[in-house]
Structure 1
Amino acid sequence: MTAWKKRPMTSPFYLLLTAGLAGTLLIEALLAPRPCPFWQRGGAAASVHLGSWLLTFGAFFAVLQRPGLAVVTLLALQLVVVQSSNTKSQTLNEPFICHDFEYFWDAIRHPRLYVPFFGVRLAIAASTAGVVAIAAFFYWEASAVSQWGGWAFLATCGGLCVSGAVLIALGLRRLDAITLHPAHDLETLGLFASLWAYGVALLRSSAPPPDASPFYHDTVAPPAAPTTVLPHTVLVQSESFSDPRSWCPDVADDLLPHWDLSGRQAQQRGTLSVPAWGANTVRTECAVLTGLTPEQWGIRQFNPYRTLARRHFPSLAATFKKAGYRTVCVHPYPASFYFRHRVMPQLGFDTFIDVEDFSPDDRNGQYIGDAAVARKVAALLDDSADAPLFIFVITMENHGPLDLERPRHDALADTLPRAPWPLPAHQRNLAVYLHHLRQADAMLETLTRALGQGSRPGVLGWYGDHVPILPQAYAYYSAPTGETPYMLWSSQKNQRDRHPTTPQRLAANELGSVLLQHVWQAASGRQGPRKDSEYQ
């Protein structure tokens, strides 16, 4: 004990510091996909890894004053990141990146959306173990300040932090450029270096200029005739909407009757290339509303709404607003999620209707049901006969985690008619998903009827934001391509007849401009008061 007081940086301390560094590499090896071996990453990545350990250890040691507790705490936090990354890779085909740190706060605010993917039991066990470990270390491990003295302790912590910061700075200067393909960058750089590289790139990046958006130039303009009747326009971003019949032979052939009928009547339909898999809805949402590609967003593509929350930007909604539309966004979830309460006004929406405008009776499963959302949209259309309305709908009913719900036996006849009961593991979440998919199909029928019966013509756009999270089903059957279906439908029968319905593939950022083209065509093809016989 006396030697420790006289010489703070003794062999036990060095051994603990080295053991912690080795622990970071062992925990990193648990990643899936696994990074390449430490010695193959190059000196720059190794420098960032070593510097990260010294900097974080020095900082935690300064706060906790106990080197053993600092090591265990840091390794435990790294294990949480690794587990989160593995879960994200399994469900979303993308590992953990620096942008994802803010989701830990979202997990506290919206635990239902995040904790079940991590594992409820694992989360409880990890939290309990963490509390016990902290208590044990505070009880058994003496404070370094009392053993070393204040100045020696501060000098040690400061030296560790400064050394770590210098190694990180030197490594980042020579680090290979990131590719913005997270799995590849994690594999080549390792966990610590890839997190730093993405973080620095984000800080150095700039937002795309407004003139990068196709809506900035008004390239798709409304008809100028004074007698033009602008149609009501509804664009639905249906949560996890896809057609599983393309990859799952056990699904009922008539799973989506209204989708099939509307598709045959559609002005345009096909598949949509979306920049998301399983989640990250705002990436697809942003592409549709702004017309920008992920490449144009650069490093900001992984959460573009953080940028849009702070600035106005040309958008599909703003274009409709300029043409005389009242613009409304309907999203039956807390408005603050993904900063939508700040983003939507910046994108030109006059009104944002969130979960506060619905009642608990509107739930279907875990969230507000599609039927309630359809009724809300139909009421808005009914109350807006005198002025054109653009409604952008972001549904929630089919949002995961699906395993929080039990499959319904009585629903299998319409979804998985040949499935045994009880269901095998690969069909349980699939059955839940298909049940809610049928509700989305019913919503589609409600909206086409509401648009067709109104006093003003109507155009409906519909697309899925991403494929659902069904890893067990994909492993048993086959994984989908990742594209989602879309459709553009008009209440005017003469408009439907003049457009072929041969499927056309679009990128998500192209959908908004194509929708505008069909809306203006519907307006120019319809003059004066409507006759009901035209909308059959």
Structure 2
Amino acid sequence: MLPVALGGLALTVGVERLLVPRPALRRPADCWMLHAGLWCVGLGLLYALTARPLFSGVNLLLLWLLIVLVSNSKYHSLREPFVCADFEYFSDAVKFPRLYLPFFGFGKAALLAVGFLVYLWAGLSFEVPGARLAALLPLAVGLGLLRLGRRQVQPSFDAERDVRDWGLAASLWRYFWAARAPVDRAGLGSPFAGEPVPASSPAKAAAASGFGQPTSLPDLVSVQSESFFDVRDLWP
């Protein structure tokens, strides 16, 4: 178990070097703790299910490689790396493959699928299962590292910058918790935080006629286009 854990952890760093944008190796120690902690927890969970250390390690490494490849495809199309919220699109990719596979590449998808099936058969057929209780060690180490690496750091929400500074694993971890943190709307400083003023109110009528100061905001038109085009190109 120990050689698989250490060797696999080193390989995750090598796979991360394929990422675009490429994260810096010189990053805070807590980011490396999160990286190693997520690897150990994932390895422990898979080993508890399969009782095969090498099979579990390669499965986890293939998952990490898949995330890196998906991130590179997303960055190539949208100039944004993979973020935590993108995990929900994996189920959509299974439901609607013709919508997502052109971005990822049919060749990459076919190669990964065939390779995974061959490995799945070989791993379950030839590797001798061990004691499932051995999964407790990587789980305990991983949870401890996650606890040590979890600092109150607010992401910049510039995904490219955070991935460069923290690495992909730490960025995903912190975006996950940031999305679940309570938000103080009063502290956002948004001009839309006040009570809406009806269009028929005297204040809005006075503002429209040019008398008095406007006390309400103009109507807001929002266009949500996802990734089909960049609406900023339409601005004169």
TM-score, length of structure 1 as denominator length: 0.38
Q: Does 1:22 align with 2:14?
A: no
Q: Does 1:172 align with 2:150?
A: yes
Which of the residues 178, 182, 204 maps onto 2:181? 204
Structure 2 residue matching 1:144: 3-state secondary structure: coil
Structure showing greater radius of gyration is 1
TM superposition shift of 1:130: 0.4
TM superposition shift of 1:222: 3.8
Aligned in 2, Cα 1:467/1:166: closer, same or farther, shift over 3 Å?
A: closer
TM superposition shift of 1:216: 6.2
Partner amino acid for 1:162? A
| Contact 1:463-1:484 within 8 A present in 2 as well | no
Match of 1:100 in 2: 86
Q: Number of residues paired by the alignment?
A: 219
Q: Does 1:42 align with 2:42?
A: no
Match of 1:137 in 2: 123
| Contact 2:33-2:146 within 8 A present in 1 as well | yes
| Contact 2:23-2:165 within 8 A present in 1 as well | yes
Partner amino acid for 2:234? P
Structure 1 residue matching 2:150: 3-state secondary structure: helix
Q: Take 2:121 and 2:142, find their aligned partners in 1: how far apart are those partners?
A: 28
Match of 1:485 in 2: 234
| Contact 2:185-2:193 within 8 A present in 1 as well | no
Q: Gaps (5+ residues) in structure 2? A: 203-216
**Bigger helix share:** 2
TM superposition shift of 1:465: 3.5
Q: Take 1:46 and 1:118, find their aligned partners in 2: how far apart are those partners?
A: 28
Aligned in 2, Cα 1:201/1:462: closer, same or farther, shift over 3 Å?
A: closer
Partner amino acid for 1:483? R
Q: Take 1:24 and 1:73, find their aligned partners in 2: how far apart are those partners?
A: 12
Match of 2:104 in 1: 118
Match of 2:160 in 1: 183
Match of 2:137 in 1: 159
Aligned in 2, Cα 1:205/1:143: closer, same or farther, shift over 3 Å?
A: same
| Contact 1:466-1:484 within 8 A present in 2 as well | no
Aligned in 2, Cα 1:25/1:467: closer, same or farther, shift over 3 Å?
A: closer
Q: Take 2:78 and 2:84, find their aligned partners in 1: how far apart are those partners?
A: 16
Match of 1:217 in 2: 195
How do residues 96-495 of structure 1 correspond to structure 2 at under 5 angstroms?
96-145=82-131, 153-154=132-133, 156-173=134-151, 176-206=153-183, 208=185, 214=192, 217-219=195-197, 221-222=199-200, 465=225, 468=228, 483-485=232-234
| Contact 2:154-2:178 within 8 A present in 1 as well | no
For residues 217-253 of structure 1, the C-alpha deviation after alignment (integer angstroms, 9 at most, x for no partner) is 33361488xxxxxxxxxxxxxxxxxxxxxxxxxxxxx
Query: Please, what is the CA RMSD of the aligned residues?
Result: 2.8
TM-score, length of structure 2 as denominator length: 0.82
Aligned in 2, Cα 1:97/1:205: closer, same or farther, shift over 3 Å?
A: farther
Q: Take 1:53 and 1:463, find their aligned partners in 2: how far apart are those partners?
A: 40
TM superposition shift of 1:212: 5.7
Structure 1 residue matching 2:199: 3-state secondary structure: coil
| Contact 1:20-1:75 within 8 A present in 2 as well | yes
| Contact 2:43-2:57 within 8 A present in 1 as well | yes
Partner amino acid for 1:14? L
Aligned in 2, Cα 1:115/1:213: closer, same or farther, shift over 3 Å?
A: farther
Partner amino acid for 1:188? D
Aligned in 2, Cα 1:81/1:221: closer, same or farther, shift over 3 Å?
A: same
Aligned in 2, Cα 1:123/1:200: closer, same or farther, shift over 3 Å?
A: same
TM superposition shift of 1:140: 0.7
Aligned in 2, Cα 1:215/1:20: closer, same or farther, shift over 3 Å?
A: closer
Aligned in 2, Cα 1:215/1:191: closer, same or farther, shift over 3 Å?
A: closer
Structure 1 residue matching 2:19: 3-state secondary structure: coil
RCO (CA 8 Å, sep 6+): is it higher in 1 or 2? Answer: 2
**Bigger strand share:** 1
TM superposition shift of 1:32: 0.5
Q: Gaps (5+ residues) in structure 1? A: 1-12, 146-152, 225-290, 292-314, 317-460, 470-479, 487-502, 504-536
Match of 1:51 in 2: 37
Structure 1 residue matching 2:234: 3-state secondary structure: strand
